[in-house]
Chain A
Amino acid sequence: MKVRVDEDKCCGAGQCVLLAPEVFDQREDDGIVILLDAEPPEHVHATVREAAAVCPAAAIELSEGA
């Protein structure tokens, strides 16, 4: 799984960090998403998918496969 985030779309709601802190963080100065792991391990895929689904700004894009 490959993860991409769109900082311009992100509204800093922090949903992704609550769900998958191994993969997402937020910048200290404005709360915008930081991608910690663009190719996260298998065991967090489910929570990363959930984060992408619930992100209010649709700022998380996943490409599955491999």
Chain B
Amino acid sequence: MSHAEVERVLHYPMTPDAPLEPPAEWAKLRQECPVARVTLPSGDEATLLTRYEDVKQVLADPRFTRQLTADDAARISDSDTGVFSSEMASVIPDSGEGHLRWRRLVGRWFTAKRMAALRPGIEAMAEQLIDDMVERGQPADLKASLGFPLPVYVICDLLGVPAADRDRFAYWSDTLLNLTRYTQADMDAALGEFVQYMAAHVAAKRAEPGEDLLSELAKSADEGGLTDAELIATGMGLLVAGHETTANMIGKMISMLLADRSRWERLLADPSLVRPAVEEALRFDANSGFGLPRYIPEEAEVAGTVLPRGTTVVCSMAAANRDESVFDGADEMDLGRSPNPHLAFGSGAHSCMGQALARTELQVVLEVLLRKLPTLDLAVPAQELRRVDGLVVGGLSEVPVRW
């Protein structure tokens, strides 16, 4: 990149040449311009970080806040980002003591031990969904058949929502997150129905607690636990945080593994690689979405560059995950890579609370597919997979497969 080109303001996010590949700019930015000025879709300017050390440092530094509502913070796009800025979602505290309290209360449900206990249930759901897909015949869309429903079913279980209501949850989540195109009227109606359902559900759990997360949080209300509004917001927050992300990751992981079928064969030959292969898919995912925006209300320094107060910083975890100075052969997908300290779940105090659950879901999906459909393959050339246009979370619109 010549000096003149570096001076020119870049547009972010950048578009890659192929659906599973990173944009060519990332490597150049890491090398030549680790603290880059970019223009966001809204036209506002921000500072883009692409190096591993810098991204990790900023995500762990509480001076870099999530307060993107500040007057001089950059807006990501012109349109409202929907549910992310809705009042319901903002009931979940964003920072400080309140966030810590919420995180510790809810976090007890995301321990490794609980995940081990959830695993057989997730396995049964994955098997059922795969059986249904096989019965409907090939080719099939793996995203719609498995990637999309599984994470909703899992969250329903967590919330104690009965199996009969799962598909309503899937519809609400789809509508609220606007995964498929919906009108504002559809979204408003879905939000109303969801809140009404959750309010009744919370009341029922208070009256007759079960073994689920909501019952547990409701029970502890007297001991400084959560209010009804917080419980409803927690249910919604978990859907928002855990559905689209995991659904897309299932599709992308399987696509990456099938795009070069020797990867799939290697897993068939050695299923003990499932765990590191999931981590490597998370690292290698070049289409993980926008990255994490942060706002600094005071001056700060990153990689020797002073950022004035009021700067909005965008951390590209996907670019950081391809940093050669941390990952040997960063542009190779190495299914046995270990350790693999990728940043796909963020880092520090806000790093993904559901990561143990997400990992469990991804491992189970991969194990069950390898076992039940060893002949699985993409039904279209990998180059023809299409990315979704969603701005926040990256994914593929369909994952056509045969077996």
Q: Give chain A's interface residues, CB within 8 Å of chain B.
A: 11-15, 17-18, 21, 25-32, 49-50, 53-54, 56-58
B 346-385 to A, binary, CB cutoff 8 A, 1 in contact else 0: 1111111101100100000000000000000000000000
0 or 1 for each of B335-352: is its CB under 8 Å from A? (1 = yes): 000111100011111111
Q: Is B110 a contact of A31 with CB atoms below 8 Å?
A: yes
> What is the CA–CA distance of A30 and B353 in the complex, to the nearest angstrom?
12
Determine the interface band of chain B, counting residues with CB < 8 A from chain A: 20 to 34
CA distance A7 to B345 in the complex (A): 20
Of the 9-residue stretches B28-36, B100-108, B249-257, B290-298, which lies at the interface with chain A? B100-108
Contact A26 B351 (CB under 8 A): no
Taking the complex as formed, is B307 at the interface, i.e. its CB lies under 8 A from any CB of chain A? Answer: no
Could you name 20 residue pairs across A and B whose Cβ atoms are closer than 8 Å? Answer: A12-B353, A13-B351, A13-B356, A14-B112, A15-B112, A17-B112, A26-B111, A26-B112, A31-B104, A31-B107, A31-B108, A31-B110, A53-B341, A54-B340, A54-B341, A56-B351, A56-B352, A57-B60, A57-B351, A58-B60
Smallest CB separation, A50 vs chain B (Å): 4
Evaluate contact between B103 and A11: CB separation under 8 angstroms: yes
Tell me whether A18 and B356 are in contact (CB under 8 A).
yes
Query: Are A12 and B339 closer than 8 Å at their CB atoms?
Result: no
Task: Decide yes or no whether B115 CB sits under 8 A from chain A.
Answer: yes
Judge if B113 is at the interface, Cβ distance under 8 Å. Answer: yes
A32 to B356, CA, bound (A): 14
Please name all residues of chain B whose beta carbon is closer than 8 Å to the beta carbon of A17 when the two chains form the complex.
Answer: 111-113
- Chain A residues within an 8 Å CB radius of B353: 11-13
Closest 3 CB pairs of A and B: A17-B112, A14-B112, A56-B351
Count, A-B residue pairs, CB within 8 A: 78
In the complex the two chains form, what is the Cα distance from A11 to B347 in whole Å?
10
In angstroms, Cα B115 to Cα A17, docked, is: 11
Chain B: which residue is nearest A46 at the CB level?
A: B338
Determine the chain A residues whose CB is within 8 A of the CB of B112 once the complex forms: 14-15, 17-18, 21, 26
Give the distance in Å from the alpha carbon of A53 to the alpha carbon of B347 in the complex. 12
Complexed CA–CA distance, A17 and B113 (Å): 8
Most buried by B among A13, A30, A32, A54: A13
How close is B27's CB to chain A, nearest CB, in angstroms?
A: 24
The CA-CA distance from A57 to B341 in the complex, in Å, is: 11
Question: For residue A31, which residues in chain B have a CB less than 8 angstroms away from its CB?
Answer: 104, 107-111
CA–CA, A54 and B359, complex, Å:
13
What is the CB-to-nearest-CB distance from B158 to chain A, in angstroms, rounded to a whole number?
Answer: 14
B107, A12: Cβ atoms closer than 8 Å: yes
Q: Which of A32, A53, A56 has the most CB of B within 10 A?
A: A56
For A25, A31, A53, the residue with the greatest tally of chain B CB atoms inside 10 Å of its CB is A31
- What is the bound-complex CA distance between A58 and B23, given in angstroms? 30
CB of A39 to closest CB in B, whole Å: 21
Please state if B349 and A11 are interface contacts (CB–CB under 8 Å). Answer: yes
Q: How far is the CA of A49 from the CA of B104 in the complex (A)?
A: 26
* Contact assessment for B356 and A56 in the assembled complex, using a CB-CB cutoff below 8 Å: no
Q: Are B345 and A56 in contact (CB under 8 A)?
A: yes
User: Which of B108-126 touch A at CB < 8 Å?
Assistant: 108-113, 115
**Would you give the shortest CB distance from A41 to chain B, in whole angstroms?**
19
Closest A residue by C-beta to B357:
A14
A25 smallest CB distance to B (angstroms):
8
Cβ distance A36 to chain B, nearest Cβ, rounded Å: 13
